[in-house]
Structure 1
Amino acid sequence: MIAVGLAAFRNNVIYDKPVAAADQNPSWTQLASEAAKRWVEKKVRPPAAPPSDKRFLPLHPYEMVYTALGVVALGAGAFSWSQKRHIRLSGAAAALGIVAVAWEWALIGVLIAMVLLLIANLNPS
């Protein structure tokens, strides 16, 4: 459950950067100094390579944590099932582990299921 919660809110943790109060309302001198810096950099230095987009890096530490927790839950569920423990609890642990590991795909599957359910209930009879 913790891994699924971490996966659900990963965009809020990884990509949100709070904006400083000074950046919201810059003064005229700050604007002028930034413009001068940009002008000098264009004239003196060649343009630098654009920064890499962190959303497409293979693994972010936060993503590694919830993926590892999901794999542990999947393994624990499979082990519990192989030991003939409570079958529903074992299945729930394995299912939550899979959902945590493949969060985007699970979310897409749930949305498709909801659309199909809505279409099925719109029968005009």
Structure 2
Amino acid sequence: MKLEETVYRFMDLVAKNNYVTGLSILQLLTLTALYSAGMAIPIFNLGLQGSAITAHIYGAITVAVLSLLILAASWRTSDLRLRVLALFNFLFVLMAAFEGLFYFGGFVDPSYALGMGIGFIGALFSNSALLFYSISH
């Protein structure tokens, strides 16, 4: 019965605030994997082809879809702070994706990589704030 109670408590935590908590946990894990795949490219001098860039692009698509789902789930709540944090998360992910499209689209310029990094850091912080706020309220 102890394991069953633990599973039920975890399910209650994940379902809190219309599943914003569970989606935020999933997005945080995906952001961590996205960072690993993205940083493997310059560290191991892989170039813009191969499995690392493919993982990075698919991870970015996953993060974009999750941020949209988080925004939709937070909009169903009546909590204005949760909505604002989800909107910031979506805008930072959108910024990183927009800069990444230019960077991987043929314009290999460090300013686009910087924009991608700023969007990533903003998405990471806003997602963490979403997660902590969702758990605490």
Give the TM-score band, short-chain normalised.
0.3 to 0.5
Q: What is the TM-score normalised by the length of structure 1?
A: 0.38
Larger radius of gyration: 1
Q: What is the TM-score normalised by the length of structure 2?
A: 0.35
